[in-house]
Amino acid sequence: MRALPLFHDLRGRTCLVVGDGEAATRKAGVLESVGAHVVRGASVDALDDVALVVVAETTDAVAQDAFNRCRARGVPINAVDRPRYCTVTWPAIVDRDPITIAIGTAGAAPMLARLLRTRIEQAVPMSMAALARLGEGWRTRAKAALTAPTARLRFWERFFDGPVTEAVFRGDIAEADRRARALLAGIPATPRGMVHLVGAGPGDPELLTLRALRLIQSADVIVHDRLVGEEVLAYARADALRIYVGKRRANHCVPQQDINALLIEHARAGKRVVRLKGGDPFVFGRGGEEIEALVEAGIACDVTPGITAATGCAAYAGIPLTHRDHAQSCLFVTGHLKDGRLDLNWDVLARPRQTLAIYMGVASLPDLSRQLIAQRLPGSTPAAVIIDGTRPTQRVIAGTLASLPGLAAAVAAAARPALVLIGDVVGVALPAQALPLAAE
């Protein structure tokens, strides 16, 4: 962040606008709309009691003189389209009074800021202003009725994301106020905790679902796996407690029963808990085991699906999991070794015209290759190992079923998450230049 964004109260303050063109007039109008006393001039002469100087459509000499005088007196100055003469920049503004959204680029790309403003204006309806004013009127009542901070937090979460908001957006303020009264009366003294099992997708934060993003942003506690990247965790509230419970092959830093106990403990304390998992919670994510433990303990819970590794990584690598000419089915298989051996239905896995997506299978690549070839799946069957799928560091190593054992050591040494795809579809992958990420 190059500059600190602040909202400046200019009511009754003097602001000097230097310049006589359309841009200067427009800036003066904005300043007057927030209650500033605007003085127009051709140059900067007196700066006593001036809160802000705006320079527009003047010569460089006038702008530089104004900049030097303002810097010497500590007066903020904005020179339109001249970043080098600015101590403050003028943002693109979305006005939903009392809500104000300001977008700035530190003067680097003003047009981009305007385009972003257009998108935000489409996403933030005008009725949001009425919702904010209604919320302002309820602040004192909510604080008096709900002494526990967590209870107030739950009230405001439901206030701004439920029937109250729906009524405001319909234009029925009286109904919104009635629903707010009912909501306040129904808030328990000790809020009820809940656990949300949330799929974070295979790595790229842009693959989060809207629901997953909302839950991450509202969580009090986030219990997350190793495959959940910092880019996803950055969406969490600054005050949210993060608990790492990541697992590697043969190295579980927190046993599953302890993870279950953590979820139950924080939910019973009235917290909104997000159990954040890479991929999808119900695809080799032990989500089923955790749901069973939560239900048995009487904890409210739900599941938000995520894009699983097979679909996300294959898509970014340009490999179709199914294809009318090559594969009419796709099997998701775990490659975890159990008691030193794989316990899989090899006859089913070796059938033709299907795709195998093997999770956590790097260590078992030699055994996978041997068993599948023994079941008469041709050693020439195309295969690929996708490392760091959907991330900027993604690598796709192509080969065949017979060559997979030779890849095991190199892939394991990378110590990065990997997915193995086996099937004729690997041989019809899209050209590398057409992919979101270049294949190797």
Question: Could you list the active site residues?
Answer: 225, 247
5, 90, 153, 217, 426 from 111: Cα distances, Å: 18, 12, 38, 29, 43
Residue that has been written with the tokens 């030779």 in this structure:
406
Cβ-based neighbour number of residue 227 at 10 Å: 19
172-180, long-range: CB within 8 Å, 24+ apart, which pairs? 173/130, 173/134, 176/131, 176/134, 177/134, 180/134, 180/138
Give the bridge partners for 248, in sequence order.
Answer: 251
CB contact set of 283 (below 8 Å; sequence gap of 6+)? 308, 309, 310, 332, 359
Q: Write the DSSP assignment of 107-155 as a string of letters.
A: TS-HHHHHHHHHHHHHHS-TTHHHHHHHHHHHHHHHHHH--SHHHHHHH
Specify whether the CB–CB gap between 80 and 57 falls below 8 A. yes
String of b and e for 135-173 (b: at least 16 CB within 10 Å)? beebeeebeeebeeebbbbbbeebbeeebbbebbeeeee
Give the bridge partners for 279, in sequence order.
Answer: 201
Residue 240 in tokens? 């949210």
C-alpha 93 chain-centroid distance: 23
What DSSP designation does 91 have?
P
Cα distance between residue 389 and residue 357, in whole Å: 13
Instruction: Return the CA Rg of the chain.
Output: 29
Query: Count of alpha carbons within 13 Å of 219, Cβ hemisphere only?
Result: 30
Give the bridge partners for 334, in sequence order.
Answer: 359
| 217: three-class secondary structure by DSSP | helix
Cα distance between residue 392 and residue 184, in whole Å: 47
Q: At what angle do helices 404-414 and 365-374 cross, to 10 degrees?
A: 160
Among candidate residues 393, 372, 387, 366, the one with its CA nearest the CA of residue 313: 387
